Amino acid sequence: MLLRTFATFAAMLALASSSSLLAQEEEAKEEHAEKLASYVTPLTEPRTERQKHPLYPALKLAEESLQSINENVQDYTCNIVRRERIEGQLRSYEFMRAKVRHPQQSDETDVPFSVYLRFEKPASVEGREALYVEGEHAGKVFVRRGGQRMSYMSTYIKPDSPLAMRENRYPITDIGFKRMIERLVEVIENDIQYDECEVKYFEGAKVGDRKCTRIEVIHPVKRDHFTFYRAMVFVDDEDKLPVGYAAYYWPREEGGPPRLLEEYIYTDVKLNVGLTDEDFDRDNPDYEFSHENEEETAEDE
């Protein structure tokens, strides 16, 4: 009797373990599919009526936005509110202050892409700072840990290393309006090849004090060539900036709520404020990077 009971328990445990592994595998597949990134699948017979696709106006708007940014935006400061799902877990909202400088070339000097971030909320990341200047420090980002434990620790890490990506969906090299629009263009270029797409446009939306056009895209049927179920983009009417974005994955069950993948809101945006090298210098007196407690991370971290 005891042996039979033990055998039954072992069988149940094996079944549970198998189900758990299958669930983990499915979650891993979904996490990979969740990534908003280049996802272009060539068609054997390309669409011949591309301009009639409901996404075509959104593509043109995104291209106009990218052109406007390239021609008119040298740098900016802003507040960023973000919420991301990482490894299947939806994290809390994070609030940060950002300085971003686009790369610029002239006869006298070349200005590299540069980013400075300071996290303000929640308490687990409060005081965290990140500094990245393209082409400097072997392509690494300088990070002050922040938060409630060893907040003073500062270190250089690769922006796409497992350590850096543990709490981020995207590396710091992908931050900002320009890269967001480039990713959106990539995704639209993929989705415009297929049907099963609903697109709606809403005027008069607002993000902070900026009047926007809200674009909503829905893929009602889950397909391998789509990366999201529903996405919303808020494009500022005046400066053509993508000041808000949110994407959702398909519900786990029919009729259930969609799952938020990522959400980004940009407020208090100030364009072309004249950011200088000092704004991206670790020795800036306004920053709290540590030198005494600086440490190096392993190359494979």
Q: What is the pLDDT of residues 156-187, one digit of tens each?
A: 999 999 988 999 999 999 999 999 999 999 99
Lowest mean pLDDT, pick from 23-27, 58-62, 112-116: 23-27
pLDDT band at 248 (very low <50, low <70, confident <90, very high): very high
Q: What is the largest CA-CA distance in the chain?
A: 88
* Structure token digits, residue 183: 């990713």
What's 74's DSSP letter?
S
Residue pair 126/120 in contact (Cβ under 8 Å)? The answer is: yes
pTM exceeds 0.85 for this model: no
Give the bridge partners for 207, in sequence order: 210
Q: Are strands 154-157 and 294-296 parallel, antiparallel or unpaired?
A: parallel
Whether 6 has a pLDDT exceeding 50, the answer reads: no
Picking from 184, 178, 220, the residue whose alpha carbon sits closest to that of residue 199 is 220
Give the pairing type, strands 210-218 and 230-236.
antiparallel
Averaged pLDDT, 253-258: 89
Residues in the chain: 301
Q: Are 232 and 212 in contact (CB under 8 A)?
A: no
Vertex 239: Cα angle to 235 and 240 (nearest 5): 35
Amino acid residing at 165: M
Are residues 95 and 79 in contact, defined by beta-carbon separation less than 8 angstroms? yes
3 state DSSP class of 87: coil
- 265 and 236 Cβ atoms separated by less than 8 Å: no
CA atoms in the 13 A half-sphere facing the CB of 224 = 2
Pairing of strands 230-236, 242-249: antiparallel
* Helix boundaries (H) for 73-129: none
Nearest to 131 by CA among 116, 152, 118, 146: 116
**Distance from C-alpha of 121 to C-alpha of 36, rounded to nearest angstrom:** 25
Residue 145: the pLDDT is 82
41 pLDDT above the threshold of 70:
no
Three-class SS of residue 282?
coil
Helix axes 56-72, 177-191, angle to 10 degrees: 160
3-state secondary structure (DSSP) of residue 142: strand
